[in-house]
Amino acid sequence: MTESKLLEILREGVKDGVAPGMSAAVGNADETWFADAGRHTYAKESPAIGEKTLWDLASLTKIVATTSIAMSLVQSNELDLDAHVQSVVAEFVGDDKDEVTVRNLLMHDSGLAAYGNYESRTNALEVKDVILRSALRSAPGKKCDYSCLGFVTLMEVEQRLTGLGFEELLQKRLTGPLGLKDTFFKPSFEDRKRTTPTEKYIAWRKKLEDLRGFKRVSAEFIQGAVHDPIAYLIGGVSGNAGLFSTSRDLAKVARAWMLGAEPFKRETIAQFTKKQNDDSTYGLGFDTRSEEDSSAGTKFSIKSFGHTGYTGTTIWVDPANQLFAVLLTNRVHPSAANLKIKQFRPKFHDAVFALVSEK
């Protein structure tokens, strides 16, 4: 019954044009329920959404990959949150940048810009180097400015500390321990076919794909390659975006966060998910539920933590009520101009809270 009601919620969202497809996982301490609705696109002949459908997670990468790796490295005493970034990444230079710590990157108060336009460049290493050398927009620790550049930098810190590539780190610290089979960067050509399409191509993107020899599934839409421009420009593997996954895999991650279970420790989860100050809702990597206008709605407790992704993805975990919710959509298809997800997210979370509370 619970799954049929969850399916009704998703079908209503698809019917209202929030996105052509949706997948959800909702769980408490004992059970997890799944539902899939809609299709890859609005075309009737498009593949139906199913449990093996892959989704571009966008900024959920920040918590599922980059922050999870940071937690693991803190637990193993390999990462000091108060270490200066410049002591690990020598290229991280510029006025006041010697004051920026790992904690600043996780709290989004490093002073780095939110984003940047690097579309005129084609070399992935060059783009990353330009990002690492970016000037600060404000003094470290003074202002919260949600920064993709900060999480590209954090990825580099994690790689330099361990001597491992980001994909290998992810496998060693998260996907391996949790047995995740469908969570990875840069899907193969066959896996791209089961990935939901995002936006229509624009000229620079197709030109760069051709230069890099990328084999497209669709001639019209981005499919199976990361939607985020920075993540794509630096090669598809990035700390800010680029991860692909399924609702089934993410349910395992969310449950581990909720319970403080392996590969995480309860005290580490508590440390990273605690709101850090009154200037923002951020913990360390994770966002926390705001008093008003939260994507988590009005029923999840104020102790809830999670994140959203630009493509229409969301994870929220409520440790006080022992509840989690994963919502995956491709709301940017065929265009990111569709913003109906903003109204749907809180309604979804209020609905699933009531649904699970009935159990």
Q: Please count the other Cβ atoms lying within 10 Å of the Cβ belonging to residue 50.
A: 11
Per the domain annotation, does 9 fall within a domain?
yes
List the 287-288 sheet strands across, edge first: 32-38, 21-27, 323-329, 313-318, 305-309, 287-288
pLDDT single digits (tens) 138-185: 999 999 999 999 999 999 999 999 999 999 999 999 999 999 999 999
Per the domain annotation, does 321 fall within a domain?
yes
Per the domain annotation, does 311 fall within a domain?
yes
Domain count, the chain: 1
Taking residues 239-265, report their average pLDDT: 97
115-139 burial, b at 16+ Cβ within 10 Å, e below that, comes to ebebbeeeebeebbebbbebebeee
Closest alpha carbon to 247 in 27, 18, 20, 11: 27
pLDDT for residue 278 is more than 90: no
Per the domain annotation, does 49 fall within a domain?
yes
- Can you give the pLDDT at residue 359? 66
pLDDT for residue 107 is more than 70: yes
- Can you give the pLDDT at residue 285? 98
Closest alpha carbon to 69 in 320, 238, 245: 238
**Domain of 193, in residue numbers:** 2-53+187-236+287-357
pLDDT single digits (tens) 7-44: 999 999 999 999 999 999 999 999 999 999 999 999 99
Per the domain annotation, does 122 fall within a domain?
no
Per the domain annotation, does 206 fall within a domain?
yes
Average pLDDT, the chain: 97
pLDDT for residue 1 is more than 80: no
Taking residues 211-222, report their average pLDDT: 96
Contact 20, 51 (CB under 8 A): no
- Can you give the pLDDT at residue 279? 85
Per the domain annotation, does 200 fall within a domain?
yes
Taking residues 66-81, report their average pLDDT: 98
Per the domain annotation, does 266 fall within a domain?
no
